[in-house]
A and B are shown apart, each in its own frame.
Chain A
């Protein structure tokens, strides 16, 4: 009687044990390491899957960050807060390369850029832009009516002589001004970027010259002198890659119109 109960129990128990050990061994041998940091980093990312970082969407970027195949600064869409959180999760120092600030890509103050007409409407850039694109002769120019100033909760943007400028030491990188600007001429740059082409005009050189004294005319002299090959062109507009740029300033001297400036030029 006891034998009839004992033998099957031992048999099944024994089989279970053998199979269990086999599975446990296989599981250990073929385990897939899953880093929990990936989820927390992914939660900080914007989730737009734009691919600007060069990885396959935000999921791919989070994985690459944990593996060390990408830098936090690679994500151009991340705000300063998100970058800081990701740096904390990864346990790396937040560097000036990673910390981003907003910059108004225009030098057209009242004295420098011409106006098409006298605007006497609502003191708001979006309203002015609705009227034939605003009163600036250059269609890519800053209207200087302060929509960005209103959007900034930290008082980091001011208008001086009809031109908006960011006080970069106060900027937290929240990107509210970027959405507020109807001309889309505010961009995020790394805080370490010391030299910028302060112009957003995609017009041809002759047209730019007519409208504004310091616009980029696309002569390409800057890219020829750049020792790091950091200057590329969007049509006739020079763009400096802040990652490659070493802030030497050679392009500033070379630029015939003065479109390129050091970020310290405005005493904002």
Chain B
């Protein structure tokens, strides 16, 4: 139980996928303009990361390893992630057309998001078992959502501030992201 908790906290805080590992920067910068969109995106990523970690682990253990086809790992994992993302897209289009429109191109881009692939591959590297894989994957998604929501709040506040002309737009966005990343380094050494 304690190990699971440590796993969750490390994925969410200490080794936050976006702010510490710098994976998944694209949707982080692209969808963090509005809080509602950030939450929607985060939910989609948690779902994809958790499920793809599970499916990838199963496929890896029972098909790839037993048949000695480890070299197909990258392809199979990408296939699994892409299928899940397409599934989320179809469901979202039906259930919440507004969110679907708001996420725009960033929804299909979850499949090429290095955070999702990163979670799957890290599970492999750290030799997690089935439960640990799902937990790590979902917590990675939760950490991603946390980073997104935090930054969305900051950006919504920044809308009303006076930003120097040359920093307006992308430069100030990157600087803000850098500062939040620095804040997250404070969690280093939480579990030493």
Query: Which residues from chain A sit less than 8 Å from chain B, CB to CB?
Result: 7-8, 11-12, 15-16, 19, 22-23, 26-27, 30-32
Contacts and interface: CB of A to CB of B under 8 A. Distances in A.
Interface stretch (B69-77, B134-142, B180-188): B69-77
Nearest to B87: A26
Interface string B62-100: 010001010010011001100100110011011001000
A32 B76 contact: no
A11 B94 contact: no
B79 A30 contact: no
Nearest to B76: A15
A21 to B, nearest CB: 11
Contacts of B86: 23
B104 to A, nearest CB: 17
Given A11-B67, A19-B79, A32-B94, 13 more contacts: A7-B67, A7-B69, A8-B69, A11-B63, A12-B72, A23-B83, A23-B86, A26-B87, A26-B91, A27-B90, A30-B90, A30-B93, A32-B93
A12 B76 contact: yes
A16 B72 CA distance: 13
Q: What does DSSP make chain B's interface, helix, strand, loop or mixed?
A: helix
B20 to A, nearest CB: 33
B66 to A, nearest CB: 11
What class of interface size applies to chain B in its complex with A? 10 to 19
Contacts of B83: 19, 22-23
Contacts, number: 37
A11 B63 CA distance: 9
Interface of B: 59, 63, 67, 69, 72, 75-76, 79-80, 83, 86-87, 90-91, 93-94, 97
A248 B170 CA distance: 67
Contact of A23 (B59, B76, B87, B97): B87
Q: What does DSSP make chain A's interface, helix, strand, loop or mixed?
A: helix
A155 B94 CA distance: 52
Nearest to A19: B83
B91 A30 contact: yes
A15 B87 CA distance: 15
Contacts of A19: 79-80, 83
Contacts of B94: 30-32
A19 B82 CA distance: 10
A11 B91 contact: no
A12 B87 CA distance: 19
B90 A26 contact: yes
B72 A11 contact: yes
Contacts of A11: 63, 67, 69, 72
A8 B72 CA distance: 8
B144 to A, nearest CB: 24
Contacts of B87: 22-23, 26
A31 to B, nearest CB: 8
Nearest to A15: B79
Nearest to B67: A7
Contacts of B72: 8, 11-12
Contacts of A8: 69, 72
Contacts of B91: 26, 30
A27 B63 CA distance: 27
B140 to A, nearest CB: 23
